[in-house]
Amino acid sequence: MKKLFRPHLTFILMGALMAFSACDDHGHEPHDHEGELITTMTLTMTPQNGGTPITTTFRDVDGDGGQAPVMTPSQVVLSANTLYNTNITVLDESHDSKDLTNEIREEGHEHELFFLPSPADLLTVTKTDLDKNNRPIGLQSTIQTGAAKTGTLRVVLKHQPGLKTATSNVNTGETDADVTYNIQVK
């Protein structure tokens, strides 16, 4: 008579059943998107009272390491006591040129740009665009210059999934881009 009960097969089947039942579909959890490579950040500043837009571009096509980044122009010259409407464009030019600006705007509830002038009274930046939670993004802003002086404007793009609040700051989340522009106000 043949044996129907085989203990080793029972253990294999029980192990497989436990392994498959332990697997969970994580489709309901938010996915943490891998950061895009940001190689290029362009600021376009247009005087509100009319005049020629001023554009400055930071470009580091090979990313960290490799060749040094290029800043064009190397120093931005702004007029004293002037209000500029400012737009930021963010690209990944490592392979094909990919404009990431709309993606950052659409995921604005997970991103924020921070502006750190040095010295602090060099200029004042006010973010004018908002995410779906009415919190600032910073792709659009105004820049108000003061008296003539020279300094820098550090622009930091932070990725803040699940962290962005009304009190988020430059230390909240992961840094996607960190660029310092040389500024002369005259």
SS3 call for 182: strand
In a domain, 1, yes or no: no
User: What is the number of domains present in the chain?
Assistant: 1
Provide the β-strand partners of residue 17.
none
Residue 128 near residue 140 (C-beta atoms within 8 A): yes
**Model pLDDT, residue 94:** 86
Closest CA to 36 of 155, 177, 168, 138: 177
At 96, the pLDDT band (50, 70, 90 cuts) reads confident
**pTM of the predicted model as reported, rounded to 2 decimal places:** 0.80
In a domain, 20, yes or no: no
Name the phi and psi angles at 169, rounded to 5: -135, -175
In a domain, 22, yes or no: no
In a domain, 87, yes or no: yes
In a domain, 163, yes or no: yes
Q: Which residues 6+ apart lie within 8 Å of 10 measured at CB? A: none
Name the phi and psi angles at 22, rounded to 5: -75, -20
**Model pLDDT, residue 35:** 52
In a domain, 31, yes or no: no
**Domain span holding position 69:** 36-185
**Domain of residue 159, CATH code:** 2.60.40
In a domain, 16, yes or no: no
Query: For the ranges 7-16, 23-32, 137-146, which has the lowest average pLDDT?
Result: 23-32
What are 148-174's pLDDT values in tens digits? 999 999 999 999 999 999 999 999 999
Tell me the average pLDDT across 109-126: 97
In a domain, 30, yes or no: no
**Model pLDDT, residue 34:** 53
What are 36-73's pLDDT values in tens digits? 689 999 999 999 999 999 999 999 988 777 889 999 99
